[in-house]
Amino acid sequence: MLARIAHELFWLGRNLGRAEHTARMLDGVFHADLQGRPEDPSGVTLSWDSLLAIMGSSAPEGDSASRDVTIAALTQDATNVNSVASCVARARNGARSLRDVISAEMWEAINTFHLELVDQRVSSGPYAFVSYVKARCALFWGVAARTMLRDEAHAFLDAGGRFESADMVLRMLRVALPPVGEAGEDGEPSPTRDGQALALLQAVGGFQAYRRAVPAPPNAAPVASFLLFRLSYPDSVAASINAARFALSVADGNPRASEPVLRLSRLLADLEFRGRIAGDGAGLVEACEIVGRELALADRDIAERYFGGTATNDGLLRR
């Protein structure tokens, strides 16, 4: 298939994945931010500053970010390239050039999504907005699953969506995890950071899954292990990478010689190994850094192999 089409499909998936995860993070932080510091410190939360850090930006004038500023910037602000509205606008523009490839229902789903955001027909209340975005994204992926031919085109779309999931969840983890060497009193992990892990889990909607899968209380180390390594949880980094790898190997004529597929396979094997030895949460920060680096390289590999590109922007390989 045309490199341009593959590229648009891949980024359609990525933009929608980003919109959804941004909305989910906002929901988690917003809910937790309204309440105070709990007696049981495992409830302390991701802050607005963390949220901006995840999105790769920081608060204006070095101040602590306020709730209203952050929400406005990340939801309907069309001038912010990372707002949900901007992500959806890009996804919709991409979809417009793909109308012969994707089904009519998919196009309608994404176009309606975009138009309602542009016309400000969506309630600006944070809860209503977040529910709307989640529902629309779910609608798009559901319609895609039912109506789109399982060909290369579908594989690239899927690969983009899952790749973005892996990237976003990993970003959340890197911001929420206590850095190496930081420990609270008595050598326990800092409770502040512990609580961020819980907020994060609730943000991605994985709280019940975690409760069913892991007997440990939702502290930083077990939550991070769950979100990083657990293959049976669909939004974990490992599961997303696995799905992206599978999609690319379907799309690729010769997956055994494909750098991105090989790189992701290697990364998965590494993740599995680390997941087995990371019983006490040691090495999680390091693992996150390595996965972050490998994902950036895989992103470059994908662009080079499939999109005929030198498509790397400057931020890509920093750190």
Partner 1 sequence: MRFDEIFDGAGAPRPDAVALAAELERLGPERLLAAGRLRDAIFMQQGITFDATGNDGAVHDRPFPLDLVPRIIPGAEWRHIKRGLAQRIRALNYFVDDVYHERRIVHAGVVPWALIASRSHFARAAHNIRPPGGVYCHVSGCDLVRDDDGSWYVLEDNVRTPSGISYVIENRIAMTRLVPSLFGRYRVRPVDHYPGLLLAALRAVAPAAEGEATVVVWTPGPMNSAYFEHAFLARQMGVELVEASDLVVRDDVCYIRTTNGLARVDAIYRRLDDAFIDPLEFRPDSLLGVPGLIRAYRAGTVAIANAIGTGVADDKAVYRYVPDIIRFYLEEEPLLENVPTYLLSRPDQLEHALDRLHELVFKPTGESGGKGVVIGPHADRATLDALERTIRADPTNWIAQEVIGLSTVPVVGPDGELSPRHVDLRPFAVFGETIKIVPGGLTRVALREGSMIVNSSQGGGSKDTWVLEDGLDDHAPPARIVDRAGPMLPDLRLDSWSAQQQQQQQHARDAR
Contact residues for partner 1, defined by CB under 8 A: 4, 7-8, 11, 14, 18, 30-40, 42-45, 47-50, 53-58, 64, 66, 81-82, 90, 125-128, 171, 174-176, 179, 192, 208, 210-215, 217-218, 292, 296, 299, 303, 307-311, 313, 315-319
| Helical pair 284-306 and 259-277, crossing angle rounded to 10 deg | 170
List all residues 6 or more positions away from 135 whose beta carbon is below 8 Å from its beta carbon.
Answer: none
Residue 19 near residue 165, CB atoms below 8 Å: no
Could you tell me the smallest distance in angstroms from the CB atom of residue 56 to partner 1? 4
Query: Which H or E run includes 52?
Result: helix 48-54
Q: Report the 10 Å Cβ neighbour count for 317.
A: 12
Could you tell me the smallest distance in angstroms from the CB atom of residue 113 to partner 1? 19
Could you tell me the smallest distance in angstroms from the CB atom of residue 317 to partner 1? 8
CA–CA distance, 64 with 134 (Å, rounded to integer)? 28
Nearer to partner 1 among residue 2 and residue 256 (C-beta): 2
Nearer to partner 1 among residue 45 and residue 75 (C-beta): 45
Nearer to partner 1 among residue 146 and residue 293 (C-beta): 293
Could you tell me the smallest distance in angstroms from the CB atom of residue 268 to partner 1? 21
Could you tell me the smallest distance in angstroms from the CB atom of residue 262 to partner 1? 21
Nearer to partner 1 among residue 57 and residue 108 (C-beta): 57
Could you tell me the smallest distance in angstroms from the CB atom of residue 11 to partner 1? 6
- Half-sphere exposure of residue 16, counting CA atoms within 13 Å on the CB side? 33
Nearer to partner 1 among residue 127 and residue 273 (C-beta): 127
* Residue in 115, 178, 140 with CA at minimum distance from that of residue 15: 140
Cα dihedral: 126, 131, 133, 137 (round 10): 160
Amino acid at 283: G
Could you tell me the smallest distance in angstroms from the CB atom of residue 126 to partner 1? 7
Nearer to partner 1 among residue 7 and residue 162 (C-beta): 7
Nearer to partner 1 among residue 82 and residue 111 (C-beta): 82
Residue 194 near residue 220, CB atoms below 8 Å: yes
Segments in 219-317 forming alpha helices (H): 220-229, 237-251, 259-277, 284-306
CA–CA distance, 314 with 288 (Å, rounded to integer)? 21
